[in-house]
Amino acid sequence: MDHSYEKTKEILEKAGIRPTSQRLEMAHLLLSKDQHLQADEVFHLINEHFPHASRATIFNNLKLFAEKGVVGTLEIKPGITHFDSNTKRHHHAYDEETGEIIDIELDASLEEQIFESLSQNFQEKTGKRFTNASLVVTLKGKKN
Ligand SMILES: [Zn+2]
């Protein structure tokens, strides 16, 4: 077991998930890099490495990981959930052309400014405050 497996095991245990070997392998593959995968893509990723893993088990584990916060979830288009391996607070850019989702890290004070200003604006309009704000920008056009 290398260092990162140890770390993955720790992440699962901290989340209250029993780190069976299959869950460990799965979490390790998912968390190995910043990625945003749909459930089917997760299945293919795991299946590529562990062809004998059952689809139902993979989906059950993925659901468990999402519930316990081992991976984040993101719905950029209605009805399409992406599982996000980056669980730190961040925002997203969505490339309409390629479907790619790119993480955006915002400076904390800038983030506060943006959301405070937006929140104030909405509170005036609707009387409601917003919480848990997350930004998605859409990228258009092609690279020259
Ligand atoms: Zn992300």
- Tens of pLDDT, residues 63-113: 999 999 999 999 998 899 999 999 999 999 999 899 999 999 999 999 999
Structural tokens at position 87:
């669980």
Q: Where are the domain boundaries for CATH 3.30.1490 in the chain?
A: 91-139
CATH number listed for the domain at residues 3-84: 1.10.10.10
- 3-class DSSP state of 126: helix
What CATH number is given for 91-139 in this structure?
3.30.1490
Q: How confident is the model at residue 132 (pLDDT cuts 50, 70, 90)?
A: confident
Q: 106 C-alpha to center of ligand 1: Å?
A: 12
Enumerate residues 6+ apart whose C-beta is below 8 A from 61: 22, 23, 26
> How far does residue 78's CA lie from ligand 1's centre (Å)?
17
Strand 82-84 relative to strand 72-74, pairing: antiparallel
Helix (H) or strand (E) holding 12, with range, is: helix 3-14
pTM of the model: 0.86
- Report whether 116 belongs to an annotated binding site: yes
Q: How far is the CA of 127 from the centre of ligand 1 (A)?
A: 30
Whole-angstrom distance, CA of residue 107 vs CA of residue 44: 35
Distance from the CA of 84 to the center of ligand 1, in angstroms?
5
